[in-house]
């Protein structure tokens, strides 16, 4: 069986590396993007099983990428938004736009792994 492909779009290099190492250790195939434009290109190219995307990134924000995934590409790929923004309206907006989960930074990597497993079956 092929490992599940997870795309991580995060502009913080250290967090990106930590997430990559943790997910690879769990047996996932990890695709990395450092900005919203690259994330969209990789989503089209790689067809990941799950997308983890930072809320605030260069070129396109996490929400802009989410809207593109849902409305333009018409994909049902699970999307987890990572954000340092605690405002309830931002979280509600992300979920209304089609995010499957919204996780506040800093977060517990074990909790993130649990949510990934729930969304990827």
pLDDT tens digit string along 59-77?
A: 999 999 999 999 999 999 9
Q: Which of 93, 77, 87 is nearest to 9 (CA)?
A: 77
Q: What is the reported pLDDT for 85? A: 85
Q: What is the pLDDT of residue 121?
A: 84
Rounded to an integer, what distance in angstroms lies between the CA atom of residue 52 and that of residue 31? 10
How much is the pLDDT for 87? 86
CATH number of 5-120: 3.40.50.2300
As beta bridge partners, residue 31 has 7
pLDDT truncated to tens, each residue of the chain (121 aa)? 789 999 999 999 999 999 999 999 999 999 999 999 999 999 999 999 999 999 999 999 999 999 999 999 999 999 999 999 888 899 999 999 999 999 999 999 899 999 999 999 8
Q: Domain locations in the chain?
A: 5-120
Task: Please spell the DSSP secondary structure of the chain, one letter per residue.
Answer: -PPPEEEEE-S-HHHHHHHHHHHHHTT-EEEEESSHHHHHHHHHHH--SEEEEESS-SSS-HHHHHHIIIIIS-----EEEEES---HHHHHHHHHTT-SEEEESS--HHHHHHHHHHHH-
Residue 1, pLDDT score: 74
Which pLDDT score, from 0 to 100, does residue 77 have?
Answer: 97
Distance from chain centroid for Cα 87: 19
């Amino acid at each position: 069986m092929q490992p599940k492909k997870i795309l991580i779009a995060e502009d913080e290099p250290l967090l990106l590396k930590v997430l990559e190492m943790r997910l690879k250790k769990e047996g996932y195939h990890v695709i990395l993007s450092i900005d919203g434009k690259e994330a969209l290109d990789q989503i089209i190219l790689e067809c990941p099983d799950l997308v983890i995307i930072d809320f605030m990134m260069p070129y396109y924000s996490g929400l802009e990428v989410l809207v593109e995934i849902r409305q333009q590409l018409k994909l049902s790929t699970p999307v987890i938004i990572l954000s340092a923004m605690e405002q309830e309206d931002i979280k509600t907006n992300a979920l209304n736009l089609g995010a499957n989960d919204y996780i506040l930074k800093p977060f517990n990597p074990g909790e993130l792994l649990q949510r990934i497993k729930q969304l990827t079956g």
